[in-house]
């Protein structure tokens, strides 16, 4: 009797709440990462209402003011509220990270699908190009592209998205190579479907699971890359707040006299990357058939 009860408890129920409770029990770290991400996404979406002060307003009297009731995280050298700039910086940093991840993953998935399914000279050309692009680190390629295009929000998204394309393309290609030999693909071809219709309707949906896991895992690296570009002055330009730019403005000169200018942006970057890594690991385990009971 007890064995039956235990089995019923471990299996997910029919409702959404039961499914959430089941996932929370099985992947507690993944749920923790999702909560961290939801907090930052909420702050980014509702930054205009959550931020207590205008992030662009300067106040010379509050220059380098320590954390207090007025300035919860202190003020920077220009008297701008650090807490308000942190919240609005979440909007910029997450917008760049999500935009670059979706753009790079979308183009990479389409290229990997075509490369793996078509094969031949097209596959050979795509793979050699991907190897050349992967020979350079993500940050180096992003630096070169941003320096060529100029610092702006759209250019930063493009500069980070382009180096992501070969990584996604190669993962999707390897998945497509195994899927195109499956019996359901052969059955679809036998019904008279065209090659591209088979690829889009039957092959592409089966690549979504690894694509979701890969995109989530790359989200953390895009946030770090955006912070690095902003730290070097090649990311989102002033006066828009960015966590990396906040570090670049204060890390060298005020790290001893006003450590809150370095601690809070660095902590935000670390938390977001930590949350995305936890969520990505949980999604990989949840979507991997070999991990299922």
Encode 262-288: b = buried (16+ Cβ within 10 Å), e = exposed.
bebbbebbeebbebbbbbbbbbbbbee
Which stretches of 75-182 are DSSP H helices? 82-118, 120-134, 138-149, 153-179
Half-sphere exposure of 55 (CA within 13 A, CB side): 24
- Rounded to an integer, what distance in angstroms lies between the CA atom of residue 40 and that of residue 56? 20
Run of H or E including 249: helix 243-254
Phi-psi region of 120 (alpha: psi -120 to 50; beta: other; left: phi over 0): left
- Rounded to an integer, what distance in angstroms lies between the CA atom of residue 222 and that of residue 188? 38
Each residue's pLDDT, cut to its tens digit, for the chain (293 residues) gives 444 444 444 444 556 677 667 777 888 888 888 899 899 999 989 988 988 888 888 888 888 888 888 888 988 888 889 999 999 988 888 888 889 999 999 999 999 988 888 878 888 898 888 888 888 888 888 888 888 888 888 888 999 999 899 989 998 998 888 888 788 877 877 887 777 788 888 888 888 888 888 888 788 888 888 888 887 878 777 777 888 888 877 666 777 888 888 889 889 988 988 888 888 888 777 766 545 54
DSSP single-letter state for residue 72: T
Beta partners for residue 75, in sequence order: 81
pTM value > 0.85: no
Residue 137 CB contacts under 8 Å (≥ 6 apart), including other chains: none
Token pair, residue 90, equals 């979440």
- Verify cis geometry, omega within 30 degrees of 0, for the bond prior to 199: no
Number of neighbouring beta carbons within 10 Å of residue 125: 11
The fourth-level CATH superfamily of domain 29-54+74-291 is MetI-like (1.10.3720.10)
Cβ pair 276, 220 in contact under 8 A: yes
- Rounded to an integer, what distance in angstroms lies between the CA atom of residue 26 and that of residue 58? 48
């Amino acid at each position: 009797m007890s064995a039956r009860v235990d089995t019923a408890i471990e299996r997910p129920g029919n409702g959404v709440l039961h499914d959430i409770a089941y996932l929370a029990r099985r992947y507690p770290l993944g749920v923790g990462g999702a909560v961290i991400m939801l907090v930052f996404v909420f702050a980014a979406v509702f930054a205009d209402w959550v931020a207590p002060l205008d992030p662009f307003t300067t106040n010379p009297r509050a220059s380098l003011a320590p954390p207090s009731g007025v300035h919860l995280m202190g003020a920077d050298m220009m008297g701008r509220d650090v807490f308000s700039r942190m919240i609005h910086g979440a909007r910029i940093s997450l917008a760049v990270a999500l935009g670059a991840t979706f753009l790079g993953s979308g183009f990479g998935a389409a290229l990997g699908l075509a490369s793996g399914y078509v094969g031949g000279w097209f596959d050979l050309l795509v793979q050699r190009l991907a190897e050349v692009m992967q020979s350079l680190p993500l940050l180096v390629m992003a630096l070169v592209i941003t320096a060529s295009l100029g610092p702006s929000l759209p250019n930063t998204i493009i500069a980070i998205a382009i180096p992501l394309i070969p990584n996604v393309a190669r993962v999707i290609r390897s998945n497509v190579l195994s899927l195109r030999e499956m019996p359901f693909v052969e059955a679809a071809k036998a019904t008279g479907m065209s090659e591209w219709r088979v690829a889009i309707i039957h092959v592409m949906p089966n690549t979504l699971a690894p694509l979701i896991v890969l995109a989530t895992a790359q989200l953390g690296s895009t946030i770090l890359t955006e912070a690095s570009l902003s730290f070097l002055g090649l990311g989102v330009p002033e006066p828009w707040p960015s966590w990396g730019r906040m570090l670049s403005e204060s890390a060298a000169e005020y790290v001893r006299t006003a450590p809150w200018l370095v601690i809070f942006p660095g902590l935000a970057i670390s938390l977001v990357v930590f949350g995305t890594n936890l969520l990505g690991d949980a999604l990989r385990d949840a979507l991997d058939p070999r991990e299922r009971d």
